[in-house]
Amino acid sequence: MAISMYQASVPTLIRMLNNLSAILEKAAAHAEARKIDPAVLTNSRLYPDMLPLARQIHIATDQAKGCGARLAGVEPPKFEDKETTFTELIARIEKTISFLRELKPEQIDGSEKKTITLQVRGSTLTFEGMTFLLSFALPNFYFHVTTAYDILRHCGVELGKRDFLGKP
């Protein structure tokens, strides 16, 4: 049996967003237990030219909602990118999950050959749906989720591979 475009996108995005939310909850508990200002963590970055944790969450959620919306042929919700606290970032993830849950398989299945055009840093990128999902949207999403995990792990939050992967 073949996997559908919906199965390859929405449930995968939701699962990882839930994992990301749990990681942020652990980070908030870590900051509280060690009397660390949470802003130290949300503003942390791996290297000076990389974006801080809060921006990694903004972009991961933008990638998730953008992926689902483009495959479904609907407009993604716009978020203002003002979230800076763990509570606000987790709420943003929840809003993204709520949006993805509204998408139905019949909106996304069959989008393998759909033309998807994006404006990225002054360039126009055009994809077929399957290539967009597998070669652009999911890798970008995972990059930012992984970077968020790595920032927190680097800051001493006790995270492991199971936190990243979540429960089976």
Residue 167 in domain? no
- pLDDT category at 167 given cuts 50, 70, 90 is confident
Residue 12 in domain? yes
Residue 62 has what pLDDT? 98
**Which residue do the tokens 């992967």 mark?**
165
Residue 22 in domain? yes
Residue 168 in domain? no
Residue 89 in domain? yes
Residue 74: give its domain's CATH number.
1.20.120.450
Q: pTM score, two decimals?
A: 0.96
Residue 165 in domain? no
- Residue 117 scores a pLDDT above 90: yes
Residue 164 and residue 19 in contact, taking contact as beta carbons nearer than 8 Å: yes
Count of the separate structural domains present in the chain: 1
Residue 11 in domain? yes
Residue 41 is part of which domain span? 5-158
Q: Once rounded to an integer, what is the mean pLDDT over residues 108-126?
A: 95
The string of pLDDT tens digits covering residues 5-49 is 999 999 999 999 999 999 999 999 999 999 999 999 999 999 999
Residue 113 and residue 126 in contact, taking contact as beta carbons nearer than 8 Å: no
What lies within 8 Å, CB to CB, of 72 at 6+ separation is: 103, 104, 107, 108, 111
What lies within 8 Å, CB to CB, of 52 at 6+ separation is: 42, 43, 44, 45, 151
> In angstroms, rounded to a whole number, what is the distance separating the alpha carbons of residues 167 and 152?
20
> In angstroms, rounded to a whole number, what is the distance separating the alpha carbons of residues 34 and 106?
48
Residue 1 has what pLDDT? 61
Mean pLDDT estimate for the chain: 97
Residue 108 in domain? yes
